Amino acid sequence: MAQNVKNHTARDPMTLVIGVFLLINFFFSLWYTHKHYWEHRHLSTWWIVMSVVFLLMLSKMRSYSLKVQDRVIRLEEKVRLASLVSASELAELESLTIAQYVALRFASNPELPELARRAVREKLTRKQIKEAIKSWRPDEYRV
């Protein structure tokens, strides 16, 4: 299936599976604590604390990996833009945000310079940029 604005988002199935199991673990720890608090109050309280810690760890790992990926995309798109526009135009495009660069990665080379100029002038959002792309360039490596 060809990638486009409607089907380009990607989800990491393993992150989803891990998240589901961590949520089950959290709710089970709540249930266990409710049923056996006086028998194992320190252990069951610790279990709840660690369940929350594991959920927070998963969330942070996901957000950090996406942040790094966005920075790499910004670098790639800056290099691509540098090969498609003049030095003076490149200086004009310095105000593009990371979110705009991330969206612009889907634009084909012929439409990228004008779309980047529009993004700066009109302060287009990520969604608006993606909707404006006519010739979609797929990104199969985004997680």
User: Region 98-122: what's the mean pLDDT?
Assistant: 96
User: Is the pLDDT assigned to residue 4 strictly greater than 70?
Assistant: no
- For every residue of the chain, DSSP letters joined together read ----TTT-----HHHHHHHHHHHHHHHHHHHHHHHHTTTSHHHHHHHHHHHHHHHHHHHHHHHHHHHHHHHHHHHHHHHHHHHHS-HHHHHHGGG--HHHHHHHTTB-TTTHHHHHHHHHHHT--HHHHHHH-SSB-------
pLDDT in tens, 5-53: 765 777 788 999 999 999 999 999 999 999 988 888 899 999 999 999 9
User: Is the pLDDT assigned to residue 73 strictly greater than 80?
Assistant: yes
pLDDT value, residue 57: 98
- Decide which of 142 and 83 is more confident: 83
